[in-house]
């Protein structure tokens, strides 16, 4: 069975970028800074950009702000790579955001887990079925939190024409292998774990090579270097970057709820490319953790430079 939306699925096989949403000190969107941020990320040649998703603080955006983010990204990227938008919440809210994303020119949507409510497998399938039926865009369910699927449920999703991929942020490799087997290759699987690079080789062992990189948003050279090393089988550089940057970054992220986003914005600010603060209930990284992050960025860049002259 051929995959639906072949041009989109062909683009979801590499390094996937997740931009932040910049805010001014007043709390309003900073769209000029957002455009600069997109340009910075495009220089690292991501396969696609996912705007207003988890890293982009989807849960803190109004529908009007979400629409502005999508429209700005689509216009600025101008077809260089696909632009997908985060959507989520209850079914009707997710449908509303999905329709808005399509009107804004997005190439697809990443559906974040439903808010708070946890239904049976059949309810989850119906949730995504209704979202898919409301759009002509490619739809990607995101497994994590309140949306953990049975393999049989994913097989049903795979029969929906609009559902083009399945992103996993749950980290249960056995479950993912069962999903891969039952869905019979009809869905492209994506590694969507926080600090996905630390899971890259584990996911690759079951045939999942594309992954989302939060690092691409604040340290694109490090993200690109790791992915290139991963693709060419350079174990030495991968291990060095894991030791010097990615594993301690994951440890730092685990210290405080919300750091999956706050550390990304802190990383930008540390390097003079601020995208403003995070919105509550998230909180900005502490001075001590900012200092640790600055050291990690230095270590990551040093590892790349050493590899380049070796």
Distances (CA, A) of 109 to 100, 214, 254: 11, 18, 28
Q: What is the pLDDT of residues 239-288, one digit of tens each?
A: 999 999 999 999 999 999 999 999 999 999 999 999 999 999 999 999 99
Q: What is the pLDDT of residues 81-137, one digit of tens each?
A: 999 999 999 999 999 999 999 999 999 999 999 987 788 999 999 999 999 999 999
Using CB atoms within 10 Å of the CB of residue 236, give its burial: 0 to 12 exposed, 13 to 18 middle, 19+ buried: exposed
pTM of the model: 0.96
Long-range residue pairs from 102-106, CB within 8 A, at least 24 positions apart, any chain: 102/135, 102/136, 102/137, 103/67, 104/67, 104/70, 104/71, 104/74, 105/70, 105/71, 105/74, 105/75, 106/70, 106/74, 106/137
Phi, psi of 112 (to 5 degrees): -70, 160
The catalytic residues are 142, 167
Q: Which domains does the chain have, with CATH numbers?
A: 6-232 (3.20.20.70)
Q: What is the pLDDT of residues 172-206, one digit of tens each?
A: 999 999 999 998 888 999 999 999 999 999 999 99
Kindly state the average pLDDT of the residues 16-42. Answer: 97
Q: What is the pLDDT of residues 107-123, one digit of tens each?
A: 999 999 998 778 899 99
């Amino acid at each position: 069975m051929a995959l639906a939306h072949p041009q989109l699925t062909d683009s979801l096989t590499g390094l996937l970028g997740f931009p932040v949403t910049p805010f001014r000190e007043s709390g309003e969107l900073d769209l000029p800074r957002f455009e600069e941020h997109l340009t910075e990320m495009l220089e690292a040649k991501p396969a696609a950009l996912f705007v207003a998703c988890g890293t982009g603080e989807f849960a803190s955006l109004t529908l009007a702000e979400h629409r502005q983010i999508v429209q700005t990204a689509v216009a600025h990227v101008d077809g260089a790579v696909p632009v997908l938008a985060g959507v989520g919440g209850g079914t009707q809210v997710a449908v509303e955001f999905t329709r808005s994303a399509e009107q804004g020119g997005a190439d697809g949507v990443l559906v974040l887990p439903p808010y708070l409510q946890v239904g049976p497998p059949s309810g989850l399938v119906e949730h995504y079925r209704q979202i898919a039926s409301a759009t002509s865009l490619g739809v990607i369910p995101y497994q994590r939190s309140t949306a953990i699927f049975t393999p049989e449920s994913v097989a049903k999703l795979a029969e929906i024409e609009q559902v083009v991929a399945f992103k996993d942020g749950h980290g249960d490799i056995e479950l993912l292998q069962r999903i891969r087997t039952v869905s019979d290759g009809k869905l492209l699987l994506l590694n969507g774990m926080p600090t996905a690079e630390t899971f890259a080789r584990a996911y690759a062992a079951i045939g999942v090579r594309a992954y989302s990189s939060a690092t691409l948003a604040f340290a694109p050279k490090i993200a690109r270097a790791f992915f290139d090393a991963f693709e060419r089988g350079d174990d030495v550089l991968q291990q060095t970057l894991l030791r010097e940057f990615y594993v301690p970054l994951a440890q730092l992220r685990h210290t405080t709820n919300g750091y999956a986003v706050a550390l990304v914005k802190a990383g930008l600010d540390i390097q003079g490319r601020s995208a403003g603060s995070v919105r509550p209930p998230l909180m900005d990284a502490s001075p001590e953790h900012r200092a640790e992050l600055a050291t990690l960025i230095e270590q990551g860049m040093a590892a790349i430079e050493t590899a380049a002259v070796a």
